């Protein structure tokens, strides 16, 4: 047993930190985890989980509208933001408790308070110093707020779950994951939503045909977009906020949401003093085994800015703990990581876009299914789904699958197994269709 207080001290009880703590403790290590906010991290407390619950809540708006075509009469329907907000908050509290139980049941010591690294083996939490053989930084990322006058009048995804009331008008700055997801939620709830973005596209990096489909459907639903714009000033007035743009135009709104990306949370940890190097993105630089420039200090998850997704952070934390405390050396495989945007309708994607595949493989074959889901047809809802398979022509392997349409993320997870396994287009085609489903289109693309 080492002379340190703990074998492992983890900073940050989010997805990566909790998994690393639990696995290391399971291997017999004496583990502590420091957390300055709430156990559970971004995903559970103010990210994926409450967001998904809002997505469910918002989608009733269209379901109830469509219900009439299926014979249902729903009188007096009305939406109450406070009910949804409070119920989501209760669920977050429940999960927060479960995460705490996981730590307690695994005999992981929780240290509440801000952590600062004093030297390669010492961390100070809320004024008390603790030593550890190994330190793991899993502090995640925080929303980026741009340097424009009045930026402080905007809110971020941290605050949006606690809005005192549903805004009548909302402007969302950015057009990535967070922007498109909350645009879908608040538009469905009845807020007048405008998405503003610096470039002329939404969801840059996604298969362009799908991003364009989301844009077209969103426009048809009545969302507003101001692309290719530069916000220069936010002014607070008695009527709300006025956003001033470089082109001289302005927009009035009640709430401004910053959704311009997330930056690694490295401040206040004492990293420079102890010699932990950052990379050019401001993230903690780590090697393939998550080790920083200080041999006893490691980092996983968003603070390393490799792939900002919860399941990736969890796997990095698991791999770290297995390697250091379980004698099991394995590394995270970053190829073919599935990803989804819970917009309305949602998108799912795994592997290469058509352009990426052309760069990587030269000749590719592309298959698309562009169809109106059966439910939308009867509902009289003119929204088409779009599925796209990208195939390496020389091997026939499906190297990318991209979908927009109802339940696309649910379907995509299963497709990701096939893409990860390197299955060929011929094997997709050999698979019997499951009728009538939307996903049968995946095996019917000729
Ligand atoms: P994204 O990186 O998805 O999108 C950022 C948006 O902000 C883009 O539209 C980009 O414009 C714009 N932008 C970036 N920097 C600036 C700047 N300096 N000035 C003006 N505009 C800027 O970020 P999000 O905040 O939406 O999400 C952060 C990350 O969190 C995601 O990348 C994802 O990894 C993760 N996440 C995942 C979710 C999921 O899995 N469903 C849900 C939510 C978040 P453009 O690219 O057009 O130039």
Nearest CA to 154 out of 239, 252, 234, 85 is that of: 234
Among the atoms of ligand 1, which is closest to the Cα of residue 307?
34
Give the up-direction half-sphere exposure of residue 361: CA atoms within 13 A in the CB hemisphere: 22
What is residue 416's predicted lDDT score, i.e. its pLDDT? 98
| Max intra-chain CA distance, the chain | 71
Burial of 153 (0-12, 13-18, 19+ CB in 10 A): middle
Among the atoms of ligand 1, which is closest to the Cα of residue 204?
46
Establish whether residue 174 lines the binding site of ligand 1, counting it when its CB lies within 6 angstroms of any ligand atom: yes
**Do residues 271 and 293 lie in contact, with contact meaning Cβ atoms separated by under 8 Å?**
no
Q: Whose CA is nearest to atom 17 of ligand 1?
A: 260
Establish whether residue 132 lines the binding site of ligand 1, counting it when its CB lies within 6 angstroms of any ligand atom: no
404 prior amide bond cis, ω within 30: no
Per-residue pLDDT reduced to its tens digit, 337-379: 999 999 999 999 999 999 999 999 999 999 999 999 999 999 9
**Do residues 213 and 384 lie in contact, with contact meaning Cβ atoms separated by under 8 Å?**
yes
CA 309 to ligand 1 centroid distance, Å: 12
Location of each CATH 3.30.390.30 domain in the chain = 339-443
Establish whether residue 309 lines the binding site of ligand 1, counting it when its CB lies within 6 angstroms of any ligand atom: yes
Residue in this structure with the two tokens 């603070």, named with its chain if needed: 303
CA 114 to ligand 1 centroid distance, Å: 27
Q: What number is the average pLDDT over the span 60-85?
A: 97
Q: Kindly state the tokens that stand for 234.
A: 């936010």
Whether the predicted pLDDT of 1 surpasses 80: no
What is residue 2's predicted lDDT score, i.e. its pLDDT? 75
Among the atoms of ligand 1, which is closest to the Cα of residue 339?
40
Location of each CATH 3.50.50.60 domain in the chain = 6-143+263-325, 151-260
Among the atoms of ligand 1, which is closest to the Cα of residue 262?
28
CA 292 to ligand 1 centroid distance, Å: 26
Establish whether residue 55 lines the binding site of ligand 1, counting it when its CB lies within 6 angstroms of any ligand atom: no
Which mutation among 174, 175, 208, 349 tests ligand 1's pocket best, with the greatest number of atoms within 8 A of CB? 174
* Whole-number Å distance between alpha carbons of 381 and 63: 11
Q: Whose CA is nearest to atom 16 of ligand 1?
A: 260
Establish whether residue 134 lines the binding site of ligand 1, counting it when its CB lies within 6 angstroms of any ligand atom: no
* Whole-number Å distance between alpha carbons of 83 and 206: 34
CA 288 to ligand 1 centroid distance, Å: 25
What CATH code would you report for 339-443? 3.30.390.30
Per-residue pLDDT reduced to its tens digit, 192-242: 999 999 999 999 999 999 999 999 999 999 999 999 999 999 999 999 999
pTM (2 d.p.): 0.97
Establish whether residue 49 lines the binding site of ligand 1, counting it when its CB lies within 6 angstroms of any ligand atom: no
Q: What number is the average pLDDT over the span 74-84?
A: 96
Establish whether residue 341 lines the binding site of ligand 1, counting it when its CB lies within 6 angstroms of any ligand atom: yes
Whether the predicted pLDDT of 307 surpasses 90: yes
What is residue 332's predicted lDDT score, i.e. its pLDDT? 98
**Do residues 394 and 365 lie in contact, with contact meaning Cβ atoms separated by under 8 Å?**
no
Phi, psi (degrees; rounded to nearest 5) at 99: -60, -40
Q: Whose CA is nearest to atom 24 of ligand 1?
A: 261
Phi, psi (degrees; rounded to nearest 5) at 261: 100, 170
What CATH code would you report for 6-143+263-325? 3.50.50.60
Q: What number is the average pLDDT over the span 136-163?
A: 98
Q: Whose CA is nearest to atom 30 of ligand 1?
A: 308
**Do residues 423 and 398 lie in contact, with contact meaning Cβ atoms separated by under 8 Å?**
yes
What CATH code would you report for 151-260? 3.50.50.60
* Whole-number Å distance between alpha carbons of 214 and 315: 31
Per-residue pLDDT reduced to its tens digit, 263-302: 999 999 999 999 999 999 999 999 999 999 999 999 999 9
251 against 2, higher pLDDT: 251
Active site residues: 435
Per-residue pLDDT reduced to its tens digit, 312-323: 999 999 999 999
Q: Whose CA is nearest to atom 22 of ligand 1?
A: 260
Which mutation among 48, 155, 260, 338 tests ligand 1's pocket best, with the greatest number of atoms within 8 A of CB? 260
* DSSP string covering 168-224: SEEEEE--SHHHHHHHHHHHHHT-EEEEE-SSS-SSTTS-HHHHHHHHHHHHHHT-E
Rounded alpha-carbon distances, angstroms, from residue 130 to 52, 79, 175, 245: 37, 50, 43, 50
Q: Kindly state the tokens that stand for 151.
A: 């930026």
Establish whether residue 198 lines the binding site of ligand 1, counting it when its CB lies within 6 angstroms of any ligand atom: yes
Establish whether residue 264 lines the binding site of ligand 1, counting it when its CB lies within 6 angstroms of any ligand atom: no
Establish whether residue 175 lines the binding site of ligand 1, counting it when its CB lies within 6 angstroms of any ligand atom: yes
Per-residue pLDDT reduced to its tens digit, 151-184: 999 999 999 999 999 999 999 999 999 999 999 9
């Amino acid at each position: 047993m080492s002379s340190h207080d703990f074998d492992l001290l983890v900073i940050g009880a989010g997805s990566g930190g909790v998994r690393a703590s639990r696995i290391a403790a399971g291997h017999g290590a004496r583990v502590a985890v420091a957390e300055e906010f709430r156990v559970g991290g971004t995903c559970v407390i103010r990210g994926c989980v409450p967001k998904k619950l809002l997505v469910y809540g918002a989608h009733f708006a269209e379901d109830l509208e469509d219900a009439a075509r299926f014979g249902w009469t729903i009188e007096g329907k009305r939406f109450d933001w406070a009910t949804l907000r409070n119920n989501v908050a209760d669920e977050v509290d429940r999960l927060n408790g479960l995460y705490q139980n996981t730590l307690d049941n695994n005999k992981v010591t929780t240290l509440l308070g801000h952590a600062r690294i004093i030297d390669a083996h010492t961390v100070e939490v809320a004024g008390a110093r603790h030593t550890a053989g190994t330190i793991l930084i899993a502090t995640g990322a925080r929303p980026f707020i741009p340097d424009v006058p009045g930026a402080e009048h905007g809110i971020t995804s941290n605050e949006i779950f606690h809005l005192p009331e549903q805004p009548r008008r909302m402007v969302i700055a950015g057009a990535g994951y967070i922007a498109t997801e909350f645009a879908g939620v608040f538009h469905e709830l009845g807020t007048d939503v405008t998405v503003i973005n610096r470039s002329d596209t939404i969801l840059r990096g996604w298969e362009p045909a799908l991003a364009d489909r989301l844009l077209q459907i969103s426009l048809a639903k009545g969302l507003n977009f101001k692309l290719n714009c530069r916000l220069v000033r936010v002014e607070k007035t008695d009527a709300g906020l006025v956003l001033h743009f470089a082109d001289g135009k302005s927009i009035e709104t009640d709430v401004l949401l910053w959704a311009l990306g997330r930056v690694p949370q490295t401040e206040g940890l004492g990293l420079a003093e102890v010699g932990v190097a950052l990379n050019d993105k401001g993230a903690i630089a780590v090697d393939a085994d998550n080790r920083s420039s200080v041999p006893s200090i490691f980092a996983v998850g968003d603070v390393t800015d490799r792939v900002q997704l919860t399941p990736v952070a969890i796997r990095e934390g698991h791999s770290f703990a297995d390697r250091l405390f379980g004698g099991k050396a394995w590394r995270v495989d970053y190829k073919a990581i599935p990803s989804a945007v819970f917009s309305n309708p949602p998108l799912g994607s795994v592997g290469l876009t058509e352009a990426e595949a052309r760069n990587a493989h030269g000749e590719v074959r592309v298959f698309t299914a562009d169809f109106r889901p059966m439910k939308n047809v009867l509902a009289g809802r003119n929204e088409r789904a779009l599925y796209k398979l990208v195939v390496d022509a020389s091997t026939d392997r499906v190297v990318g699958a991209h979908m927009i349409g109802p339940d696309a993320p649910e379907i995509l997870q299963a497709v990701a197994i096939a893409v990860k396994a390197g299955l060929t287009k011929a094997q997709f085609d050999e698979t019997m269709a499951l009728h009538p489903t939307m996903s049968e289109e995946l095996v019917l693309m000729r």
